[in-house]
Structure 1
């Protein structure tokens, strides 16, 4: 089935920039099999040539390459109306990811990563780009996290996409839309599973435990248990 992430007229166009031929081939074939139009470049000179002649929606960009590196290239090309930039790099330390994101990349994937992870990240980056271009994003932020209510996505403080089930997303949305208020298990159960759910309220305890783990460090402090009453979402929430 052909994917049409940027509109019904044509599939999104992806540019893979990496000096490793095997990686270029793997990503080109993997993304092409999902219906994307994919081109490849071995360095930033070839990347510039492609950008001059064609519209590109997202770039998978290696950091360490002969000549101009990916960080310098991203600094040149990153802009709100330009292609989404996704770094793929063997440099996976926190400081490396932070530098990449500060240069304007939307995501940073340390190598090695699976083709499935790359595909999921490309989809997320294209959704973000489409929403920014269309001006239809509705995002709420808390403690450096960003929750996109339109795309149903959650990004951690390093701008890494966090996978949530539909129930977990609905549960977190109930919290961020009612911050610093004690919410009963019944209220949360209805938010997560609908008004006609016959699940036991203890199921909410399990789901909140899973959500706390996905919020990783700070999860227990973000969602506080209020004895005999329910749960309270502690961080301040603002539209971003």
Structure 2
């Protein structure tokens, strides 16, 4: 299930840019343009939200007031955005309970990195650790960093192969575009002529006995990317 993020910002261009970028990276995004609409969306989606992003300057209130309200109601992670370079704003926001603070202008990639870091910390505190993933007779063991088949025989995978398969089993049923997969496994975007990811996926299919012509595990979604189609279960540590 995609993580749901609520964003309040009075600049429409910024809102739409963030929505498009975060949805491309597999997040569900709800937008609001002022404090009143933010509080309505917060009330409607409180149980499903993973994080909120608050702009400090809003037409009917400010992000500090909204931060106080959110923090009184829950421990929901909060990131605050400001156009001010004044350190006082950052200190006030953090003292009110914000988890992170980003000054404008910022890149969507930087914001995405902050979101991932906060959700990793929140997830580590809230959820039991996963030891292994199971799919189609295979077991991917996170602690041992191995993948074995139903007979217990280990697969010969490189470190990058393991990282790619790990990302697939963590996001079953979700279409993942090539740029996202490259960024998650290699730390860089895929260029238009970069075929290294496709070669790696072909190799991974071979290791998993997944027919390259009619794959059942890692399927190609033309013009969109790849999707891991197997049913995945987990064993907790």
Give, in angstroms, the shift of residue 133 of structure 1. Answer: 2.8
Match of 1:18 in 2: 9
TM-score between both structures, scaled by the size of structure 1? 0.50
Equivalence map 1:63-78=2 (5 Å): 63-78=56-71
Give, in angstroms, the shift of residue 135 of structure 1. Answer: 8.2
Q: 2: CA distance between counterparts of 1:45 and 1:90? A: 21
For residue 100 of structure 2, the aligned residue among 107, 110, 117 is 107
Give, in angstroms, the shift of residue 131 of structure 1. Answer: 2.8
Give, in angstroms, the shift of residue 132 of structure 1. Answer: 3.3
Q: 1: CA distance between counterparts of 2:51 and 2:15? A: 15
Aligned length: 127
Give, in angstroms, the shift of residue 94 of structure 1. Answer: 1.5
For residue 87 of structure 1, the aligned residue among 80, 89, 93 is 80
Give, in angstroms, the shift of residue 26 of structure 1. Answer: 0.5
Query: RMSD in angstroms over aligned alpha carbons?
Result: 1.8
TM-score between both structures, scaled by the size of structure 2? 0.51
Q: 1: CA distance between counterparts of 2:65 and 2:5? A: 20
Give, in angstroms, the shift of residue 91 of structure 1. Answer: 1.6
Match of 1:31 in 2: 22
Query: Which secondary structure state, in structure 1, belongs to the residue aligned with residue 49 of structure 2?
Result: coil
Task: Extract unaligned runs of 5+ from structure 2.
Answer: 130-237
Match of 1:51 in 2: 42
Q: Does 1:130 align with 2:144?
A: no
- Contact map agreement 1:13 1:56 (CA 8 A) in 2: yes
Equivalence map 1:157-236=2 (5 Å): none
Task: Extract unaligned runs of 5+ from structure 1.
Answer: 1-9, 137-240
Q: 1: CA distance between counterparts of 2:8 and 2:76? A: 13
Give, in angstroms, the shift of residue 80 of structure 1. Answer: 8.7
Give, in angstroms, the shift of residue 52 of structure 1. Answer: 1.4
Give, in angstroms, the shift of residue 79 of structure 1. Answer: 5.4
Q: 1: CA distance between counterparts of 2:97 and 2:14? A: 23
For residue 97 of structure 1, the aligned residue among 70, 87, 90 is 90
Query: Which secondary structure state, in structure 2, belongs to the residue aligned with residue 86 of structure 1?
Result: strand
Give, in angstroms, the shift of residue 57 of structure 1. Answer: 0.9
Q: 1: CA distance between counterparts of 2:11 and 2:101? A: 18
